[in-house]
Amino acid sequence: MNINLKDLQLLPEIYNLLCKLNDNQVKTQKRWLSVKELSAYLTFGKDKIYKMVDIQFIESEHYYKKENRLLFDRDKIDEWVVYSSTDKLSTEDTKYIIDDVLSTLSIT
C-alpha cells in the first residue's frame, strides 16, 4: 500500500469536514422541534401540524407551550408515528360515536 504525501496532507481537511458533518447531524437530531422543524421532519404542512395539535397530539406528552411557542418532543412524535395505526378510530370518529351514545342517553 502506497501512501502519497499529498494524501496525508489532506487528512486535517478531511477531519475538519467530518467534524462539520457530525455537528450538522447532531443539530438535526435535537429533541425539541418547533412547528416549522416538525413540519419539515414529518413532511407535513404547518397547517396540518396545528390541526394535529388540536385533534391528535396531547399537551405535556407530544408538545409543550413555552413562551407562546409550541415545542414538540421528537421522541414522543417518533413513538406516535411508529405506534399510530390506521385500524384505530380517528378522533373525529371517536367524537361522533361518543356524541351519538350521549344523545341516546336521556339523563333527566
For the chain, how far is it from start to end, CA to CA, in angstroms? 91
Cα distance between residue 42 and residue 53, in whole Å: 14
Q: pLDDT (tens digit, 9 = 90+) per residue, 22-71?
A: 766 655 578 899 999 999 999 999 999 999 898 888 888 899 998 989 99
Domain tally, the chain: 1
Residue 108: pLDDT over 60:
no
Is the separation of the CB atoms in 30 and 74 below 8 Å?
Answer: yes
Q: For residue 77, what is the enclosing H or E element?
A: helix 74-83
- As beta bridge partners, residue 72 has 33, 63
Asked, for residue 10, whether it belongs to a domain, the answer is no
Report yes or no on 18 lying in a domain: no
Query: Is 45 within a domain?
Result: yes
For residue 87, give its domain range.
Answer: 29-104
What CATH number should be reported for the domain holding residue 34?
Answer: 1.10.1660.60
Element (H, E) at 63: strand 63-66
Q: For 11-35, how does the pLDDT look when each residue is reduced to its tens digit (9 = 90+)? A: 888 888 887 777 666 555 788 999 9
Asked, for residue 39, whether it belongs to a domain, the answer is: yes
Cα(57)–Cα(65) distance, integer angstroms: 12
12 within a domain of the structure (yes/no): no
51: in domain: yes
